[in-house]
Structure 1
Amino acid sequence: MTAQTQPIELYYWPTPNGWKISIMLEELGIPYEVKYINIGAGEQFAPAFLKIAPNNRMPAIVDPEGPGGAPISVFESGAILQYLGRKFGRFYPSDERARVAVDEWLFWQVGGLGPMAGQAHHFRQYAPEKIEYGINRYTNEVNRLYGVMNRRLGEADYLGGDYSIADMASIGWVVPHANQGQNLDDFPNLKRWFETVKARPAVEKGLKVGDEHRRNLADDKEAQKVLFNQRAR
């Protein structure tokens, strides 16, 4: 395993996407420093952060001990997980067949589970109008995706076969399952996986990073103005 002497800077807010990286860093047991990006206050639009994360979204990292010994910044949660997995040689297999399996489920999460669950959260909790079509559309799609996960987890203990960055990417999006209109009792294999992964000490620690900053934004109209309906600047 590669040694890390200087802490990795984690640009973070305690959300399902942020948790992916705090969990990974805890699993690796390497030094890291949290740089909180208050997304409800618009800190993600600061010019200095834009240089690190051009999509104005957290999480992002800066590794002062990047390739060739020079600092590197990485944005997008999936890319960060892959980078850390390659660098430290853990939770991301080097065998090509095993890596393909992990990549499949990692991209399934970043392209499907996360966006669809996020839309379910939006229409069920934050939309100023209760639009039945939007609520049903995304609640049902999350239900379908939970079914996909449940079938996979009937075949394997973890999404990629062994515990990996694919599980770290997905666990945080299942934590708020009730807000997505889902009942884990309907998905016994998924429930078994959820309880197993959530009980890992590093996952418990990763989910608690910045817990004091978490709050329900459903009634915070000013934060919603910052978070939603952004256009090109």
Structure 2
Amino acid sequence: MSHGKQFTLYALKAGPNAWKIVFLLNELGLSYETIYLDFMKGELKAPEYLKINPNGRVPALVDHKNGDLTVWESGAILLYLAEKYDTEKKYFATSEADRFAILQWLFFQVSGQGRVVRFAHFHPEKLPSAIERYQNEIRRVLGVLESILSKQEWLAAGKLTIADLSFSSWNNELGGIAGPGFDFEKEFPATFKWHQRILAVPGVKAGVALKKELNGY
């Protein structure tokens, strides 16, 4: 089977996780087509998709120029693309110390921020105590970022890396899930400025524009 694009990306139009992959693919200049699954129709749990990602979530990425190698989980995909295709190490590490600094922030994002925002956004029951707990946790994660970004421009390696990109799509969702009265710029000024720098990156800017076009907001 021939493919016009190097990669096939499985995503949701509105969900944040796949968009961090779009940002990196754009920045690396890699060709891809995106298949948008319908969450409400149960397409993430359909047998066809479970063959690609047995966890039944997005994103998943198929690399047609590497024997149709399939990678799922957003952190693993970012790491795969950075290690294999970022040949200039523009978004990844050039030393062991920087590699592990990037990885610790990447793992913090997927295990901390990603889990918290997913619960607050998609949990079927609206439990006030749980919502308050997870909104407080969102602020705690942002506080950790603020403690670092108030002293340096990027999270690791002195440059924009996959660690920074991993937070960007979730931070775009904060207005809808961090609770009434949340003011990103006022409460976490250094983190807000960092986020604005990421949004100005061409590949990120193009991805955000496409998401708005697809979702109408």
TM-score, structure 2 length as denominator?
0.88
Contact 1:13 1:210 in 2 (8 A): no
Give the Cα separation in 2 of the matches to 1:210 and 1:175.
11
Identity within the alignment, % = 37
Structure 1 unpaired stretches of 5+: 217-233
1:62 is displaced (CA, Å) by 0.4
Q: Distance in 2 between matches of 1:53 and 1:208?
A: 27
Aligned equivalent of 2:81, options 80, 84, 90: 84
Secondary structure of 1:56's aligned partner = coil
1:171 is matched with 168
- Supply the distance in 2 between the matched residues of 1:152 and 1:110 (Cα, whole angstroms): 18
* Map of 1:118 onto structure 2: 118
Q: Distance in 2 between the 1:122 and 1:57 partners?
A: 13
Change in CA separation of 1:115 and 1:131 when aligned onto 2, cut-off 3 Å: same
In structure 1, distance between residues paired with 2:42 and 2:212: 19
The residue identity in structure 1 corresponding to 2:24 is M
Unaligned 5+ segments in structure 2 are none
Q: What residue number does 2:52 align with?
A: 52
Q: Retained in 2: the 8 A contact 1:153–1:190?
A: yes
Shift of 1:25: 0.6
1:174 counterpart letter in structure 2? N
Residue-by-residue CA offset, 1:165-214 (whole Å, 9 max, x unaligned): 11111011111212222321110100110111111121011223354443
CA-based RMSD of the aligned residues comes to: 1.9
Residue correspondences, number:
205
The one-letter amino acid paired with 2:147 is R
Q: What is aligned with 1:32?
A: 32
Deviates more, 1:33-42 or 1:184-193: 33-42
Q: TM-score, normalised by structure 1?
A: 0.82
Q: How big is the shift at 1:28?
A: 0.7
The 8 Å contact of residues 150 and 187 in structure 1, kept in 2 or not, is answered as: yes
Aligned partner of residue 209 in structure 1, secondary structure: helix
Residue 194 (1) aligns with residue 195 (2):
yes
Q: Give CA-to-partner distance per residue, 1:90-122, whole Å, 9 cap, x none.
A: 412142111111101000000001111222224
